[in-house]
Amino acid sequence: MTISLTGCAKTFPDGTQALLPTDLAVNDSEIVALLGPSGCGKTTLLRLIAGLETPDADGRIQLGEDDVTTLPVESRRVGIVFQNYALFPNMSVRANIAYGLKMQKQPRATIIARVDEVMGLCRLEGLADRAITMLSGGQKQRVALARAVAPSPKLLLLDEPLSALDAALREALRDELAGLLRTIGTTAIFVTHDQSEALAIADRIAVMNTGRIEQIGTPMTLYQQPASPFVAGFVGHAVPLDGKAEGNEWVTSAGRFRTSEPAGDRKVFVRPESLMVDEAGSLSGTVAATTFMGTHHRVLVAGLNPAPIPATYRGSTPPQRGQPVRLAINADEALLL
């Protein structure tokens, strides 16, 4: 099912403008992530699509061919996975998953068959009669997904689906969730503040900041061609490098390097993984700290910006704190924004 939002804004009764007028189009079976820091309006946008909030006047929400702007959540046929799951504590796992089908007044046999099917899909076999309070975090997350999916919604919405889990479990379930969403095949929109989650799960990512979508695109597009300093910073942790343009070069207080084209009035942003510790490099600095990351060392280098900036060292003898180093950057990897 396709979704399209036109001019959807949200102002709360206290005057807070949580979402500026926003357009968004999502294709059939597509998985889109709304990525941004807390307070950027991503959850508000999700709640507008769900029907848990109504947009300000002039906003329009279309689900397929139907205008659903004024339709309440119970009539929209959207499945929602809540951040804290919102499983009904007064019902068993099976009753939770069957609830949506029961509301659709499906025949008993159909409900039982569908619940079994969804439970198999979400690897919940054997937990049917378990009480909600007796489930682990990961199990709760899968029950919440199964419950949302069981009534075959037109659209699946997930609000920070992994944030209630501890770090180790989160990483394992991230790939599992990505696989499950593709197996289910429903159009899905999910909210997250974690860029690795968005990169791992989504077909396209909408990066949000201060109530608006800054850029929407595939994970690779966002990474390689960020449209704004915010996107560059949030996806891939790019930092601005102080200096000024001189033709095809960027001149800093600690050396100069080539850029892919004249920077003009734009600024140069670099990512830790493009800034390499290299004896042949054209920039110089002093090591402020070194952290071993498994595959490489992350080196904080002082002397270029007022604050130390992170760079990467791939080798076996990492530079020590206080040691002078030289840094190199590939002209293509210096972002001009």
Contact footprint for another protein (CB under 8 A): 50, 52, 72-75, 77-80, 82, 84, 86-90, 99-100, 103-104, 133, 147-148, 151
Helix (H, G, I), strand (E, B) or coil at 282: coil
Comparison of 88 and 292: residue with beta carbon closer to another protein: 88
Burial class (CB in 10 A: 0-12, 13-18, 19+), 298: middle
Q: Which residue number, 12 or 88, has a Cβ lying nearer to another protein?
A: 88
Contact yes or no for 326/286 (Cβ under 8 A): no
Q: Which is nearer to another protein, 122 or 327 (CB)?
A: 122
Nearest distance, CB of residue 278 and another protein, angstroms: 50
Give the whole-angstrom CA distance, residue 141 versus residue 143: 6
DSSP 332: G
Q: Which is nearer to another protein, 74 or 129 (CB)?
A: 74
Q: Which two tokens stand for residue 76?
A: 């929209």
Q: What are phi and psi of 150, to 5 degrees?
A: -50, -45
Positive or negative, the CA dihedral 40, 45, 47, 52 is positive
Instruction: State the nearest-atom distance from the C-beta of 74 to another protein, in Å.
Output: 5
Which of residues 46 and 325 has its CB atom nearest to another protein in the complex?
46
Closest contact distance (angstroms) between CB of 144 and another protein is: 8
Minimum distance of another protein from residue 88's CB (angstroms) = 6
CB of 70 to another protein, least distance (A): 15
Q: Which residues contact 329 (CB under 8 A, 6 or more apart)?
A: 257, 270, 274, 275, 276, 281, 283
- Least Å from the CB of residue 11 to another protein: 19
As beta bridge partners, residue 135 has none
84 versus 183: smaller Cβ distance to another protein: 84
